[in-house]
Structures are given as C-alpha cells and as structure tokens.
Amino acid sequence: MSGIVWAAASAAGAVLLAAGVVLGRLTAPRGGRAADLDLGTPVERATFHTLHTASLAAPPLRAGLTEETARRAARPLRSLLGTEALCLTDGTAVLAWDGPGEGHHHGGVPDLAAGTLETGRSRSAPTGCADPGCDLRWAVTAPLTGEEGVLGALVAYGPRESAVLVRAATEVARWVSVQLELAELDRSRTRMVEAEIRALRAQISPHFIFNSLAAIASFVRTDPERARDLLLEFADFTRYSFRRHGDFAQLADELRAIEQYLALAGARFGDRLKVTLQIAPEVLPVALPFLCLQPLVENAVKHGLQDRERGCRVTIAARDAGAEAVVTVEDDGVGMDPERLRAVLRGEHPGGSGIGLSNVDERLRQVYGPEHGLVIETGVGAGMKVTARFPKYRPGVHPSRTR
C-alpha cells in the first residue's frame, strides 16, 4: 500500500518539477524585455526600434518573395511605415495583407499596382473607397525590384494624401528590394555549389566504353554466351553510372558497380588481372558519395597493368573501424613518384592521368571535411595503396534509391 503512496508522491513531484521548468521557460523572455528600460534619448530609441523592426523583416525576405515569406514580413514592414494597412503583391496576386480592410480593398490591388509594375516608379492614388467609415483613402504603390526588373509592389494605405508616406514607402520598398537581391544571390551561390558537386561527380571515361565494347566484340564469335553476359554487365554498369538523382549510395551498391567494372576489365585483360576482396559485412550499409570507389579501382587497374607483361593483383578491402568504415584499394603495379602524385592531387594533371584520384579526394573533403581526404601510399615501382575513411553517420548523408 505504502508503495502506491510513494509512487503517487514521486509522480506528483515529477509533475511539479516539470511544471516549474515550463513556467521558467515561459516567464524568462518577459524578464529579458524589462531590461532595456532606460537606454538613450527618445530619438535614439526610435532609431533602435526602427532598426530592430527592420531586422525582424529581413530573415523571411532573405528567402525570396513568396506567399509564406511575404506573410511573415508584412507585419514588421507595416510597423516600420506606421500606416493603416500594408499589402505585398507580386503583380498577379496579393501575397500578404497586414491591417484592416482586406475584405473590400483586396480586389483593387492589381489595378493600383499595375502602373508601378509597368513603369517601376512609385505613385500615389486615391482608393475611391465607397465605405465612409474606412480609413484607407489613399494608397502609395512602390516597386520591389530584383535583378530581372520589377518583381512586385508594396502598397501602403493612409487616410490622406501624404508626401511623407510616399517617401517612406519608396525607401522601405528599396530596402526590401535589396533583401530580395541578396536572396537571389544566395540562391545562385547554392546553385553554383550544387553544379560544382555535380561536375565533380565521377564520369566514366569514353575510353572505358570503347575498350569494353571492343572486348565484348572479340567474344561475339568465339563465345557468344560470354559476350551476352558481358553486355548485360555493361548495361547494368552504365545504368548505375548514369543515374541522375542522389549524391550518395550504399557501399554494397558501389561494390556491385565495381564488380561489373572488373568483369568488363577482366574481359579485356584476361588472366593478367587478379582481384582479391576482403569485405566486412558490418560496413556494407555505409552511405558514401556516389561512384567514389570505382575511380580508385580503375586507377589501380591502370597502374597495375602499365608497362608490364606479367599480371597484377588488385586488392579491395573494406573493414570496420568503430564509427568509421575504412576502404583500401591496393595494386602491385608501377606506383608513382610521390612528388608527381602531390601535383595531381593539387589539381595539376601532367599527362592527364589521375583526374579520378583528385576528383574523389576533393569530393570526400567536401562531404566529410578536410580530415577525410584520401591517404595514398606509393613509390616508384612499389605499387599504390589508396585508403579512404567514411564515417558511418554524418548528418545529411543518406543513400538514395539506385535501381
């Protein structure tokens, strides 16, 4: 019995504690506001107030001119202007209305804004309102401009014609226009980064396509069955490589693409190419940048078989290392002068080789940060070992559907 009493008492304590936390959170901002009681002269405080109101309107406008952002910006803009009502329009529809009188003035907005949208100049006009109790007698229309001309208009309503309101509305509209231009700048910067990432996405080389088709062609007469299998691998591999959407894939899918690539390379090089795999099942679900391993394997095959009559062995290993997966691609080929390799990774491509390596390196650094670039161990005649480390989890890195 006393157990129930105790449980009830502790539950009540829990409720009280939680209620206290909630109360504290709710009351905290009020205490904060009381702090700015005597700060500066009235003029200075008016300036602070204006700047603060403007700063409230800025964040939504920095996301561009849409219904959602206009709605959130309209209220601070109206208090900035101190008018009866304020409306933001994009030329075709009313995006947001703040203040009274939306019901019967809504329909008149396109007519009021039409002149401004066409000329890009502010104008003041009577609203011609039929309701004698309505304060919205005059409207000032000011243009909102972006890089591509007039985007919309700001309409401020007042009880009488006023040069001050015209001036104020024009200035506010100009300020809004600057914010909208910044928004466009943000968007184009994002687009540029995206375009760069897309350009960095590995491309299969045309040589690979010619060589594969030539190798398949050589089997068409002698071994039609094998030629058919190889064509199917080729189809699968190209479909995977040419996919458009998603920047990340699972390691299991990447390995599958590598398998197809090696099957095609094997058709060309025959017994000279040997492959060893050591894959830990724990790391197969790891998400990693799309097609970032295939260039490493391609590089290993190319280096391994360069200037050599005897064959080469390519070793691909993926192992579990706590919160990371470590993938190594190793060949016992000609290797590379470390100085030359450094130049390749810096982006200078003597002889055009190694684009794959620097591309993968750059993408890994972009996605996971500078400490996750490729680690390459090599020397002339000593083969090459490329190590890449992939965190098992990174915010925003999710594999997308591949096939």
Partner 1 sequence: MNQTYAVAAVTAVVLATVLIGALGLRVSRTTSDFYVASRTAGPRLNAAAISGEYLSAASFLGIAGLVLVQGPAMLWYPVGYTAGYLVLLVLVAAPLRRSGAYTLSDFAEARLESRRVRRLASLFVVGIGWLYLLPQLQGAGLTLEILTGAPDWVGGLLVALVVTCTVAAGGMRSITFVQAFQYWLKLTALLVPAFFLVAAWYGDGAPRARFDAPAVLREHTVVRVADTVRIALDAPLTLTVTGTVDAVRYEERSVTLDPGAHHVGGGTVLALPPGTAVPERRAEGADPLGWSQPLAGGRDGHQLYATYGLILATFLGTMGLPHVAVRFYTSPHGRAARRTTLVVLGLIGAFYLLPALYGALGRIYAPELALTGSADAAVLVLPDRILGGALGDVLGACLAGGAFAAFLSTASGLTMSVAGVLAQDVLPSRAVRHFRLATPLATAVPLAVGVAASKVPVADAVGLAFAVSASSFCPLLVLGIWWRRLTPPGAAAGLLLGGGSALAAVMATRAGLAPAGWPHTLMAWPAVWSVPLGFLTMVLVSLATPRSVPAGTAATLARLHLPERFTAPVPAQEARR
Binding site for partner 1 (CB under 8 A): 2-3, 6-7, 10-11, 13-15, 17-19, 21-22, 25-26, 249-250, 252-253, 255-256, 259, 262-263, 266, 274-282, 284-285, 287, 317, 319-324, 371, 389, 392-393, 395, 397-403
**Between residues 3 and 206, which has the closer beta carbon with respect to partner 1?**
3
Alpha-carbon distances, residue 58 vs 95, 168, 241, 308, 332 (angstroms)? 17, 17, 43, 65, 59
In one-letter notation, the amino acid at residue 241 is S
| Residue 323: φ, ψ to 5° | -85, 5
The secondary structure of residue 100, as a DSSP letter, is S
Residue 360: count other Cβ atoms within 10 Å of its Cβ. Answer: 24
Q: How far apart are CA 117 and CA 144, in angstroms?
A: 9
- Residue 203 structure tokens: 């491309």
**Between residues 197 and 275, which has the closer beta carbon with respect to partner 1?**
275
Least distance from partner 1 to the Cβ atom of residue 248, Å: 9
**Between residues 19 and 178, which has the closer beta carbon with respect to partner 1?**
19
101 and 85 in contact (C-beta within 8 Å)? yes
Output the furthest CA–CA distance in the chain (Å, rounded).
99
Q: How far apart are CA 163 and CA 9, in angstroms?
A: 69
Least distance from partner 1 to the Cβ atom of residue 249, Å: 7
Least distance from partner 1 to the Cβ atom of residue 147, Å: 27
Cβ neighbours of residue 110 closer than 8 Å, sequence gap 6 or more: 89, 92
**Between residues 172 and 262, which has the closer beta carbon with respect to partner 1?**
262
**Between residues 58 and 279, which has the closer beta carbon with respect to partner 1?**
279
Least distance from partner 1 to the Cβ atom of residue 221, Å: 24
Least distance from partner 1 to the Cβ atom of residue 284, Å: 5
Q: How far apart are CA 25 and CA 27, in angstroms?
A: 6
Least distance from partner 1 to the Cβ atom of residue 280, Å: 6
**Between residues 104 and 398, which has the closer beta carbon with respect to partner 1?**
398
**Between residues 122 and 402, which has the closer beta carbon with respect to partner 1?**
402
Least distance from partner 1 to the Cβ atom of residue 323, Å: 5
Q: Which of 347, 351, 260 is nearest to 303 (CA)?
A: 351
